[in-house]
Structure 1
Amino acid sequence: MENIHKKFYDNLYDDKEDLDLYSKDCASVISLEKGNKVNNVCKSLVKYLKTKYQPPDKEGFAYNDCILLNYWVYNRLVTIYGSRNSPKFFPAWGKLVYIWNTIISDQSKKFSHNKCKPDDNIVNHVDWEKRKQLYDYCVNYETIKKALSFYDNMCKEYYTYVDSNAPLYTYFKTQCTTPNYKCPEFYNECEKYDPIHVLKNFPCHDVMKKEMEEDAIAHALHVKKVTMQDRENHSEGSSSEDYSSDPADIAQGKSQTATKLGDVLLGVVVTSMASGAIYRETVYAPTLETKLCLEVI
């Protein structure tokens, strides 16, 4: 499955050609701690702004490179400094924003008309990663929607990926009704891609629903078996002094055990019915984060 956001991020990350042409624009970041790494981010940013950025198509939900670019730069700095709460992070972000604004305000250049502005609000969003994930998903769904008509053999893979994003929608549905919470600007457009609404239209929906139900039952039975074995092993290894003879204590113990077991089984079923959440983290988890954690230039 080709992810549009992955392709975009990978192109930014891997495109090293002629980056030295933009060294002058980024000279001020060299003095920062880890300035060489920030310099590489800066040159990639400047090159993209000057040579590649185009305004989005206003028809329908066409993904906006500018949103992806903001998240890419921000995430790269978080990766370089380990956390956005690092005291070294904000000076670096501030310098990049200044360089960014300088470029787009230069009226003598043709790219000044194709303005992609830095997102000043991104630093105020403690859930910026979830916002990024939601936008990545919405961008990808455009591709999935078109591909479903031609690639039936990919239906299950697409289904798993889409379903794994259901928790994001649960999160934002709650947050966006909370007073003083600023919903992502793109949320309204993304609402129509809510897995609850779109999965039922997948040609493999009935098959996937049945498979997930069977997997959930099998998993729950396995957990129950393991839990019962643990209880039996504990019982065999304990003396009679370990147990209360008070009927009330015994009843309470049974109730607590049943409650815990029920919680375990409920958690298993909910997790399994959410389908590929674990699968998604392994296969589809924001590729940029995974890649950058492995190798930060």
Structure 2
Amino acid sequence: METYKLPSAKLYEYFTQKNVNTDSYNETCVKLKPKFYGLDDIYDICRKLLFNVETSFNEEEDEKFQNYRCTYLHYWLNDKVINTFNLNDNGVYLGILLNLYRTWNSVVTTSAKFRCMPDMKTYISRNINVFKFKKEMYDYLYNYEEFNRNTNYSTKNCNEICKYLTDIITKFEYFKTECFRNNNKCLKIDNFFELFNPQKLIDKFKCNAEKLCITAPVAVKVKETLPEYDNTLSSPMKENANNFLTTQPTIITYHNAMLCFLVLLGLFIIFFTLYKYEFFEKIDKNYIYNAVKSLNYSETEDLSAENSFINCDIQLMGEKEKRVCRKLNSLISTLCSNNSQSPKNYIFSNHDIEYLKFWVNFEIKNEGLIGNGDIEDLSGIIKEQMSECCSKDTMKNILIFIDPQDLNRMKILNNLYKNYNEMHEIIFSTSSEGIQKCLEYSKQCVTEYNGAIKQYRNVNDYFYNALKNFENYYKKLYADALGKNKHFEKYIEKIPRQYQISELSFYSIEYERNKIIFISLLGSVFVFIVVLIYIYMVKKIITL
């Protein structure tokens, strides 16, 4: 008996099993073989693609069905390339697809009879994993439409549909989560999750708790009740009891192991969140912020192939993404040249990497891009051969998506420490000419800090502690500035008392500073008096 196949699987097979019985495309497709030495199957894929474009569409069919079929031909081609060549390299994947799409386009533009046109922008993903996610969503969409359109199914097929629908619910929730994080990687259909909820079809096919079709309304599983037993155990029950007793230590050991694991996991999570924002305190601020600032005062240009870290010349990359890509190349290059004395195989500390990860996420958001998908796209086009300055693994650690809530908090800390760094540079420069500018940065600092405290005062978490740490840094900078020159006080704005969360106060700092000065003066006076007494005594001895 034939195994039931999902509509999406049938359509995929429809394209795959087409027998190419013409030589019309031999000359066109053979041109691809020299471009991809060793990948001879590209010739067969090309012929099958063009044959499907010519023969799989006719004017008599429903237009909506033709659109589905044309869309799925794009997914079929992408999937065929990945699976035929067992690809996990995004660069090779894109290179093959772009050539196949160009060949497709060159053929369909020769005649009006071709009804399925190539759409590279919509259906090529620069990342293999993003494509696989989109294909899963489209497969579900196509299956849903087919199930909803047809109602005449045998009992066996209806049962298979119920199994598929009940199993897809978990996947459907995964789709929701991923699309919420990054809508860019999902199908562009309004209200998709409301319109295509699998529960609608589960109700339609009356799938019960055992994933089977029934003719009655959806069955509700009744809560099972334990049967009552008398006090005497039967032989099988006694045997089960004995087995339970003999295996109990193993169960306890397993539970203890699980408890230890959960405790360690909890400690790891606490440790991770505790230091989530610490890198702003630990980075070499002068080194990092000056490199970032240099990007704003110079035009970002494409680096030469040997000096770049990411290939920004991918055809499908939009202008906004290219800007981020080029800026990242320039920033890494600047940091490498500034730190040329570092060992060849190591340049960035873990704190530097965390900051660069924040910077990339912030730039992507600042350009109005979505986030996760664009990060994955950049990660997929890292060059295989990197310079001595930065390893491929380092770049992969930089190109990781940051949760939007964390990113917003990091943006606040970045603004605070960026202004702090400008103040520090001015205060401890050899010249005092720019001291007037210090007040401007100080006011920006205090305004940003006050706003953060208003929003997060009642959220006593690790971000709150990060704000408290910044407050201490700011107050110490104030004290150090006054230690250098007491007239600097008028160029540093104090954080208002109502926004201070640190136990360290400006006034206690001033008191401590004055106390130190007083003790120093008192010590000097004491030494001076001792010296005078010594001189007096020596003179007296000499006169005797």
Q: TM-score range by the shorter chain?
A: 0.5 to 0.7
Give the residue type in structure 2 aligned to 1:29.
L
Letter in 1 for 2:86: G
Alpha-carbon distance change, 162 to 29 in structure 1, aligned in 2, over 3 angstroms: same
AA at the equivalent of 1:8: L
Q: 1:34 to 1:68 in 2, by over 3 A?
A: farther
In structure 2, do the counterparts of structure 1 residues 200 and 227 end up closer, same or farther at CA, with 3 Å as the change threshold?
farther
Q: Deviations over 1:2-22 (max 9, x none)?
A: 432222221222223315331
**One-letter identity of the residue aligned with 2:137:** L
TM-score (norm 2): 0.37
Matched, 1:23 2:26: yes
Q: Quote the Cα distance in structure 2 between the aligned partners of 1:135 and 1:182.
A: 12
1:70 aligned onto 2:70 = no
Return the offset for 1:175. Answer: 2.9
Report the more deviating stretch, 71-80 or 81-90. 81-90
One-letter amino acid of the structure 2 residue matched with residue 110 of structure 1: A
CA positional deviation for 1:118:
3.2
> In 2 relative to 1, CA 78–147 (structure 1 residues): closer, same or farther, beyond 3 Å?
same
2:49 corresponding residue in structure 1:
45
Residues 162 and 205, structure 2, Cα contact 8 Å, conserved in 1: yes
CA RMSD of aligned residues (A): 3.9
1:159 maps to 162
Q: Counterparts in 2 of 1:197-236, with a 5 A limit?
A: 197-205=200-208, 208=211, 232-233=249-250
Q: Deviations over 1:230-264 (max 9, x none)?
A: 7624879xxxxxxxxxxxxxxx959927979xxxx
Matched to 2:120, the amino acid is D
Alpha-carbon offset, residue 130 of structure 1 = 2.2
Rounded Cα–Cα distance in structure 1 between residues aligned with 2:257 and 2:92: 54
What SS does structure 2 have at the residue aligned with 1:127?
helix
Quick one: distance in 2 between partners of 1:194 and 1:228? 47
User: In the aligned structure 2, how far is the partner of 1:171 from the partner of 1:12?
Assistant: 29
8 A Cα contact 2:134 2:187, kept in partner: yes
Between 163-172 and 148-157, report the one with greater CA deviation: 148-157
1:119 paired residue number: 120
Compared CA separation, residues 13 and 207, structure 1 to 2 (3 A): closer
- Alignment partner of 1:21: what SS? coil
Equivalent of 2:180 in 173, 177, 180: 177
CA distance in 2, matches of 1:93, 1:46: 14
- Give 3-state SS (helix, strand or coil) of 1:120's partner: helix
> Could you list the per-position Cα deviations for residues 61-82 of structure 1 after superposition, in whole angstroms to 9, with x for gaps in the alignment?
8761122111111111112332
Larger-gyration structure (1/2): 2
SS in 1 for 2:11: helix
In structure 2, the partner of 1:33 is: 37
Mapping for residues 245-260 of structure 1, pairs under 5 Å: 253=256, 256=259
Count residues with an aligned counterpart.
Answer: 231
Mapped to 2, the partners of 1:158 and 1:67 lie a distance apart of 23
Provide the C-alpha distance between the structure 2 equivalents of 1:10 and 1:2, rounded to a whole number of angstroms: 10
Are residue 89 (structure 1) and residue 93 (structure 2) matched? yes
Work out the CA distance in 1 between the residues paired with 2:201 and 2:93.
Answer: 39
Q: How far apart are the structure 2 equivalents of 1:6 and 1:48? A: 16
Q: Post-superposition shift, 1:207?
A: 5.4
CA–CA distance in structure 2, aligned partners of residues 150 and 194 of structure 1: 21
Following superposition, the deviation at residue 24 of structure 1 comes to 1.3
TM-score (norm 1): 0.63
Deviation (angstroms), 1:49: 1.4
Name the CA shift for 1:8/1:234 in 2 (closer, same or farther; >3 Å): closer
Aligned to 1:144: 147
Shift of 1:190: 6.9
Q: Which structure ranks higher in relative contact order (CA pairs < 8 Å, sequence separation ≥ 6)? A: 1
Query: 1:123-134 to 2 correspondence within 5 Å?
Result: 123-124=125-126, 126-134=129-137
Deviations 1:112-143 (A, max 9, x none): 4x242233342235322122122122222333
Contact kept? 1:162, 1:199, Cα under 8 Å: yes
Please say if residues 63 and 139 of structure 1, whose CA atoms lie closer than 8 Å, have aligned partners that are also in contact: no
Identity of aligned residues (%): 18
Alpha-carbon distance in 1 for matches of 2:181, 2:56? 38
Query: Conserved in 2, the CA contact under 8 Å of 1:26 and 1:39?
Result: yes
Task: Report the Cα offset of residue 181 of structure 1.
Answer: 3.0
For 1:69, the aligned partner's letter is: L
Q: For residue 70 of structure 1, give the secondary structure of its aligned residue in structure 2.
A: helix
**Which segments of 5 or more consecutive residues in structure 2 lack a partner in the other structure?**
212-217, 224-242, 264-544
Asked whether the equivalents of residues 130 and 168 of structure 1 are also in contact (C-alpha less than 8 Å), the reply is: no
